[in-house]
Amino acid sequence: MKLKKLCAAVMSGILAFSAMAGAIPSSDDGALLQAPASITAEAATALRRPCNAENPMWIVFIESWNTPDPQKIINLIPEDIKPYVVFNISMSIYWNRDTHSWGMVQNGYELAKSWIKACADEGIWCMIQPSSGGQCHFPDYDSSGNMVSFPNKGNFVSHADADYENTIYAEFFRDYPNFIGFNYCEQFWGFEQDDFPITCPQRYQHFASLLKLCNKYGGYLDISWCGNEWSPNINPLAMLKQVPSWEEACRNYSQNLILEEKYTQASYIADVESLVYGYYVSGYCGNFGIRYDETGWTDSTWSGTGPSSKDQFNQATGLPIYLERMVKNGATVIDGPELVTVDDFKETYGYTDSEGYHVRDWAMYDQFQNVPMDFMRKIVDGSIRIPTREEVIENTKVAIIHDVNSGWNDDKYSTYPSLFEGLYRMNGDGNLKNNHNLYKSTGRYQTIPTVYALRDNLAKSIPVQVKQSQIASRWSSISAKQDEFNKLYPSSDYYGNCYAGRNENTWIAYNYNKDGSNCGAVLSLKYNTCKELDVNFNAYGNALINEYSDHIDIYANNFDHKHADTRRTDTFKISGCTSEPTITYKDRGVNQLKSEVTTSYSNGTYTIKVNHNGPIDISVKCSGSESNRLTATPKKALTAPAAPSFYTGVRQYEAEVFDYKNIEGNVANACGSGVTGIQGQGFLKFGKNANAAVKDTVRTQLAGDFTLKLRYSTT
């Protein structure tokens, strides 16, 4: 049923309103809608929302820096993508050390309860991000169930229940059937500070109990990691070594852990990838993902010291990371993009509706729609097939078991410094703290995992298991290491000077030159009867290429929103054709320049020049005389995950996102306002104008009588 619009006016200090049975007063802060009956989400024995190769997830932010209306952010996501989205209630950290107070979210617990109700109202999956680094809006508890730290302790009571059932963490699982877990970002900084005295090992003691709770309710703990030279002693592998309860929890509840590579630090790039991948293949986490972040990007002109310019950055620079991790390594989660107010959503100036009300409004950036959203569509339609852990381990020929427990922190917890040098580390780049390039020189080799231990029989099937303490003697030189790896990976199936790699009939290739200079490669076709595919990329060029017996599909995306009026040319040449191929193509982006595609055919070679700025699908019907071709697995679109069960608890609507006219003012962020006790992020100042009014429209599929509680304060 659609509920009548709520209008309110102040008259002589009395709040009057129309519609909704049973309204009672309480700040111009919002409204609660109570259904006839309330139920809680029951504890689950299985995952509420499965995450695996057939059920990947895209984590999209409802971000406090946007002072958003959660419902309007949710409504921006198109219906074809929405079933695969998990919305992240992100309470980014903005802590004022001078005033010992939050500068963005006044009360994280109340905000989370409000926004999670909005997600429940829309029937979509969500998680909560209470923390960036050591700073956190929610309390931490140690292994004995005692509160470690929380600045605003008045909201919570310490407890002695180590199973977390009496904490707010269980409350969210119990009360909201659409809630799937907690997202802890950037767990490499902010520990042991005056206002946040928690240590990183204490945080991981907390994580151990939290992971157990997630298992009980079928949810996830999602942790993102990015390293620098000061943090090896608190990296995920270090925590397995230092915190026995965490190692035990990961062994027992690995399916409930998502570990992410995060790109906030411009160093330890390959180290982070190896450690995160190591968690996954060794069996210590059930899924891993990527949270891409402009902050960790370094331009090609960077000297290695001081801040790096970001002039050469755009969201398309993350596509090589997404492609390689998902097509070859089995990543199942995309989280972000990270800088939401720059690359995801923006609040517009709003508009005035037909009744004279000012309406707050939000919109998506073009790069958000044309890069991660369009990439997700390629996963959904089956163009990108994510391999299972079994498949990934079959392709992983070498694992490094980290057995060193003495020396410097890098010795005890980091990957071996020169492990990737001479293999897939970019030429001219450095190791560990001097490793600044996100890209790889070749896709010949599978990512080398560095692991604490190999947890299960599947992990133990990796054929070459090398202890870190033996690396120096086993590979006494770069050439000795290359010789062994080249025997394990005898052929790259391509030659050239750009990145290319293959998993079955799917190729990925990209320009690894940050300065935008051209590069290319010749790919040996294995499924199509033509002989080779020659790719050449301009700046930001990359491609997903699927081979089939009678055609080749190419998805290319170089979207550059900073130069939206500039096209760049990528070239694809198919050789060994017995007749001239035919081509179809289609632009996929929004606000995208129309692509210019030209073709030519001579002496069995078909040349396609794609002059574009944005995502484009190309399909080429082609065949040749090559024999002994492999049979490709047919393309298969994903089946959408089931939606959460219907939420019949209290609904909540915040006044700061109501439509309004003739009011005194609207405070989107209550921090620093002098007004406390709010439940969302801000509040509305109604004022004394007799013509003042606010309205909101809410919906429910549940019939019956409803009680409206209007919460306000007045002098």
Tokens linked to 390: 């079994």
Q: What is the pLDDT of residues 309-362, one digit of tens each?
A: 999 999 999 999 999 999 999 999 999 999 999 999 999 999 999 999 999 999
Strand partners of residue 496: 521
Cis status, amide bond into 50, omega within 30 of 0: no
What is the pTM for the complete model shown? 0.94
C-alpha–C-alpha distance, residues 161 and 142, integer Å: 11
Beta carbons of 411 and 271 less than 8 angstroms apart:
no
CA dihedral sign, ordered 249, 250, 252, 253:
positive
C-alpha–C-alpha distance, residues 248 and 253, integer Å: 8
Tokens linked to 665: 């003012």
Q: What is the mean pLDDT of each run of 10 residues along the chain (715 residues)?
A: 36 27 40 48 71 98 97 97 98 89 94 96 96 93 68 44 80 97 96 90 94 96 96 98 97 98 96 98 98 94 89 97 98 96 96 98 98 98 98 98 98 98 97 97 98 98 98 97 97 94 98 96 98 98 98 98 97 98 98 98 98 98 97 94 93 95 96 92 94 91 86 85
Q: What is the predicted pLDDT for the residue at 146?
A: 72
Q: What is the predicted pLDDT for the residue at 143?
A: 65
> Tokens 């035919």 correspond to what residue?
582
Q: Phi then psi for 328, rounded to 5 degrees?
A: -105, -40
The CATH number of domain 57-394, selected from 3.40.50.720, 3.20.20.80, 1.10.10.10, 3.60.21.10: 3.20.20.80
C-alpha–C-alpha distance, residues 146 and 164, integer Å: 11
Q: Closest Cα partner for 485 from 439, 424, 431, 411?
A: 424
Beta carbons of 594 and 638 less than 8 angstroms apart:
no
C-alpha–C-alpha distance, residues 234 and 710, integer Å: 47
Q: Phi then psi for 438, rounded to 5 degrees?
A: -75, -15
Cite the beta strand spans of 170-302 per DSSP E: 179-185, 220-225, 257-262, 287-291
| Domain spans of the chain, in order of start | 8-37+648-711, 57-394, 494-621
C-alpha–C-alpha distance, residues 127 and 86, integer Å: 7
C-alpha–C-alpha distance, residues 286 and 52, integer Å: 8
Q: What is the pLDDT of residues 435-485, one digit of tens each?
A: 999 999 999 999 999 999 999 999 999 999 999 999 999 999 999 999 999
Q: Kindly calculate the radius of gyration of the chain based on its CA atoms and give it in whole angstroms.
A: 27
Residue 646 per-residue DSSP state: P
C-alpha–C-alpha distance, residues 538 and 69, integer Å: 40
Strand partners of residue 290: 261, 334
Q: Which fold has domain 494-621?
A: Chondroitinase Ac; Chain A, domain 3 (2.60.220)
Q: What is the predicted pLDDT for the residue at 306?
A: 86
Q: Closest Cα partner for 710 from 8, 15, 14, 24?
A: 24
Beta carbons of 214 and 220 less than 8 angstroms apart:
yes
Number of H helices, E strands in the chain: 16, 42
C-alpha–C-alpha distance, residues 87 and 63, integer Å: 10
Beta carbons of 710 and 25 less than 8 angstroms apart:
yes
Half-sphere exposure of 112 (CA within 13 A, CB side): 27
Tokens linked to 388: 């299972």
Beta carbons of 230 and 258 less than 8 angstroms apart:
no
Residues with Cβ within 8 Å of residue 67, at least 6 apart in sequence? 347, 656, 668, 669, 681, 682
Check for a shared fold between 57-394 and 494-621: no
C-alpha–C-alpha distance, residues 613 and 594, integer Å: 8
Tokens linked to 238: 């270090």
Residues with Cβ within 8 Å of residue 521, at least 6 apart in sequence? 494, 495, 496, 497, 498, 499, 500, 509, 534, 535
Q: Closest Cα partner for 59 from 35, 82, 36, 92?
A: 82
